[in-house]
Amino acid sequence: MAPDESVEEIEGGDEAKGLNLARVLKLELQVSVLIAEKEVLLGEVLGLGPGNIVEFDRPSGEAFHILIGEKVIGRGDVVKVGENYGVVVKEIGGVRERIEQLGSL
């Protein structure tokens, strides 16, 4: 992942760009954590019931993907925070890299 730089460094000195960036930084985005994915046959899905286990080809202990939309922006470990879950960020792209990844959302 790229070394981090501040939003101010990316913003530059242009006042108009700064005003636009200030608006963009107020946007709310959905953050998700992807545990695993797999393709299964429709028959398998229809055969699922309470107590069934769906096994994934993902080693336990491997960091989970942190996503904005469908774009992976980092990796981390899931932790329990009180009665909720959280993610300890282990890897994340620099500010510029994250902006570029989110540009196609």
7-102 fold: Surface presentation of antigens (SPOA) (2.30.330)
Tens of pLDDT, residue by residue over 30-87, are 999 998 999 999 999 999 999 999 999 888 889 999 999 888 999 999 999 999 999 9
pLDDT in tens, 90-104: 999 888 887 777 776
DSSP for 32-101, written as a single string:
EEE-------HHHHHT--TT-----S--TTPPEEEEETTEEEEEEEEEEETTEEEEEEEEE--HHHHHHH
